[in-house]
Structure 1
């Protein structure tokens, strides 16, 4: 798969939200020391040439200095090393007797090497600026689709991490959100079939509908129906534009935390659109929610009945763990799938505090990446929510 590379560099430090990290190599305490390697190389070549026999001159190797600078320094730094290399060449070469001087040919070599190094550095810097601009656009798109969630949003403790299988794209078809509303708080997590901008557009369409319907609608059944209709409308619109989106669909989990349920204060409602059922993680163990037997969003016309609304008990202190198939389908070198439930159960046995959403998401993220060696086969979302 194009762009399938290690995503270990995407991990946010300390569990913070993933963000564009501009690489700044060769920095010490925040200050650039990129000038040190070419300067050391320049000094070494000059000293070695000064202390060798006249029959073995190496001063022309100084052409390597601006080349090294072009790879790690800026344009002006590279130009400075090109000039410095030329001056050093003239100084060292003219200090030898005439019969041992390398003369004009090597002078031209060093001069042309410096000019080419500056040009190469300018091309490199422009490419880096363009790459950072595209990464900023991708990050802005990701934040527009997967908006940041305030702590305690919807009266839920929550934590989430999203990792794109394409480490440059940084955005894909996974989506999640929490929407408090007039009739309680609703949670949605899903995965649009396919890759690229078409999947992102479908995810954005579903999230937009969810944020409005989850706020206004009294019944979770109505929210689920509106999501199904939105997916069908989006597919028809994409096909009308000439795109090959006729078979696009999305799996998902829709969860409702009722605002007031005196008869069942610890009950939640769940609609499963063909997605892996969430895990209920508590300090004393792990259990799975019922699968629900619903078809993915966009395929509801193939079934006679809509996905059922399940009512499930969720005791205080229990955390819902929702993941996309980047976790459940992660494989190791032997092709073994990541044993999510067993791994989480083992962690809880060692430390019951793992049920905390922040700790749980971080644990599952790290475990998934270790299991697959940092090479995810699909976009990965890990989302944990718990009543405050």
Structure 2
């Protein structure tokens, strides 16, 4: 249950209705007989219903009734409010308890749904241990919907006997359908990225998985049967410590951030996953140099398409270059991710038009 009022970790939600109860009783005792306010005590269980639990609300309902009877009967008979206000206080207390029970039940359901969403998020975007796969890494996921926990953006690191593979992608669309497609692609990546010796084979497996998922949705007559996904697949070969292999599925090219500046990897000409019927061949594999002190930055279009009040797109590369010139340490994955997150939110005034993922990786250096 949500406790809106807490002091040093302890709930003080009972304090406002108690103070109101005391104030009404004291004011009524010190007023004239022509202006009685004791019937206002019906507000006390109503306030408790909004702040306290069911049992506390019931206790305030009983306490309000007792206080009403005690204060009202202390007045001469001609000034007593009588049976109508007594019934009002009783019914107010009963309705307050019922309303509180409904509120608490709704809060419990909300917390349960939040737990389910968090479990889904941890399934799709699983936690990555420090140094996982021999890489220093950092990631931030920002949902366009402030109530959401996960969307169509996904990323993962999969170490294996053929080196460490990295995947970042963005499923077209939103909602549970996008989450389902992202989970399907991640499941395939975690298996193929471990077992397959060639990165091209991993890419083929991802394409086939996306096509199978789309056909499955078509059989079910679902509206997302035309879904596709952009993505970047990266391999860190163990036998080439200064080289990475990249296959781009129609995604924004990654940036390389290091002591010597910022450069963009070749875009490639691959189509998004799920659109292989429109092309005659698989996306090409690119081998590009990557020094041990250089960080590979992968972002979703929530970053590159962030706009300010004038509609200007976020200048990601220029912002990083300027920050890097002032402090070369910004190339560290955790600092780079934090910087991109903060500058993106500042540029868009906190209004994200799409789910945003920022993922930075580089080879882990020996301590």
> How big is the shift at 1:23?
5.1
Q: What is the distance in 1 between the residues matched to 2:243 and 2:260?
A: 19
Of 180-189 and 155-164, more deviation after overlay is shown by 155-164
Partner residue of 2:51 out of 29, 47, 72: 72
Please state if 1:248 is matched with 2:224. no
Of 49-58 and 183-192, more deviation after overlay is shown by 49-58
Please give the TM-score of this superposition, normalised by the length of structure 2.
0.94
Q: What is the distance in 2 between the residues matched to 1:88 and 1:283?
A: 74
Q: What is the distance in 2 between the residues matched to 1:63 and 1:136?
A: 36
Please give the TM-score of this superposition, normalised by the length of structure 1.
0.90
Please state if 1:161 is matched with 2:140. yes
SS in 2 for 1:255: strand
Please state if 1:339 is matched with 2:318. no
Give the equivalent residue in structure 2 for 1:279.
255
Partner residue of 2:27 out of 30, 45, 48: 48
Number of residue pairs the alignment of both structures matches = 364
Structure 1 outlier segments of 4+, above 6 Å: none
> How big is the shift at 1:270?
0.7
Q: Deviations over 1:169-224 (max 9, x none)?
A: 31211111000111110000001111122111111111111111111111111111
> How big is the shift at 1:325?
1.6
Q: What is the distance in 2 between the residues matched to 1:24 and 1:338?
A: 39
Give the equivalent residue in structure 2 for 1:171.
150
> How big is the shift at 1:320?
1.2
Please state if 1:212 is matched with 2:194. no
Please state if 1:353 is matched with 2:329. yes
Q: What is the distance in 2 between the residues matched to 1:145 and 1:127?
A: 27
Higher relative contact order (CA 8 A, sep 6+): 1
Please state if 1:152 is matched with 2:131. yes
Please state if 1:186 is matched with 2:165. yes
Please state if 1:59 is matched with 2:57. no
> How big is the shift at 1:269?
0.8
Q: What is the distance in 2 between the residues matched to 1:44 and 1:372?
A: 48
> How big is the shift at 1:284?
4.4
Q: Which runs of 5+ in 1 are unaligned?
A: 1-21
Please state if 1:82 is matched with 2:61. yes
